[in-house]
Amino acid sequence: MLPTIAREDDVVVMVDQRKLPAQEVYVRCKTAAEVARAIKTMVIRGAPAIGVAAAMGIAIGMRKSGATGTQKFAAEFFKLCELMAATRPTAVNLFWAIERMKRVFAAAAQEGRSVDEIKEYLDRQAAAIHDEDVASCRAMGAFGAEVVPADARILTHCNAGALATAGYGTALGVIRGAVEAGKRVAVYADETRPFLQGARLTAWELVRDGIPTTVITDNMAGALMHQDRIDLVVVGADRIAANGDTANKIGTYSVAILAREHRIPFYVAAPLSTIDLKTPDGSHIPIEERDAREVTHMGGARLAPEGARVWNPAFDVTPAHLIAGIITERGIFRPPYLDSLKRAFEPQSSTQHPAPST
Ligand code: MRU
């Protein structure tokens, strides 16, 4: 499996996704501040991977704390949580992971645990967030494989693969799950301007897996669909609101509109950690705007003239009515999402198996 992110003692190691596929370079973050910077500058990106990185960053940051009393230790902990929360605003997995770390901290402090014991708990929680993410992606892959035709041409946008998660991927997890289930799959990867996650990262992952992959520029998807060459669209998500509205990489909305026009099923694959029931609908999802240089420049060379204004939102929102189903580790949830997504969080009894389609 691809080494997206790993812990080596008190160092967080991640493959530098800005440099792939030309170079496979590993960045070694020795402090929480270095991890925060890696998230902000997109050394690591993709909603679940960002959450894992933040948790690991907090864990190594607190490991290095010299505080002996819990009060000073707590002040440092909350500062690190704030540092991580300020990196990228859209992916809710980031805030979900920070909340999990906070809950562990609060419970340990309440029990009167020592600073060393709390450090240990934070380490374990970060490791659990990592491992659970891989397990969720695999479960998503198995559920999602059911909606993939035996012979399928699948369009995906951005990179929702092993690189965007702790491993295996969400949308690419569904593709991998379908291949493992014996289906014949060919993938069309949208280039994904301006950061080129599709052309650089999705294509890199799939080619390594031996899955037939064709890269297209974003403006080619409509022509492909019009020629009846796409059977299914699967994308990831950065935040899914309670009503099913989904924020994902800029351009996802256009793909969803095209899919609706051509009567092609459009699926979102995401773990429950991406579903934000506290956000009622897409209009409340904060959308990150990134540096103009990502649009005006390509590989260091200027494309647009000096003086041209730039709008560079990193994400857009696809309204729930365009989404055929949301594939999670607990099955596939269908409209109306206001009801079905709430059910996704209901506790499961040990004898009850998750329904594949809800
Ligand atoms: O800006 P990015 O590269 O972090 O955006 C990533 C996406 O939009 C992904 O589709 C999303 O995070 C899902 S990753 C499993």
Work out the pLDDT band at 299, boundaries 50, 70, 90: confident
Which atom in ligand 1 lies closest to the alpha carbon of residue 249? Answer: 8
Q: Give the pair of three-digit tokens for residue 92.
A: 């809710």
Which atom in ligand 1 lies closest to the alpha carbon of residue 17? Answer: 3
Cα separations in angstroms, 55 against 26, 71, 231: 19, 21, 38
Question: Which of these ranges, 146-150, 212-216, 244-248, 298-302, has the smallest mean pLDDT?
Answer: 298-302
Selecting among 133, 190, 238, 245, the annotated active-site residue is: 238
CB 234 within 8 A of CB 271: no
Q: What is the pLDDT of residues 5-33, one digit of tens each?
A: 999 999 999 999 999 999 999 999 999 99
CB 39 within 8 A of CB 53: yes
Q: In what order do the strands lie in the sheet with 246-249?
A: 275-276, 239-241, 246-249, 315-318
**Neighbour tally for 183: CB within 10 Å:** 16
CB 297 within 8 A of CB 320: no
332: amino acid identity, one letter: I
In terms of Cβ atoms closer than 10 Å to its own Cβ (0-12, 13-18, 19+), residue 211 is middle
Q: Give the pair of three-digit tokens for residue 120.
A: 């240990």
29: helix, strand or coil: strand
Check if 158 has its Cβ closer than 6 Å to any atom of ligand 1.
yes
Check if 170 has its Cβ closer than 6 Å to any atom of ligand 1.
yes
Rounded to two decimals, the pTM is 0.96
The owner of tokens 């709008």 is 311
Work out the pLDDT band at 232, boundaries 50, 70, 90: very high
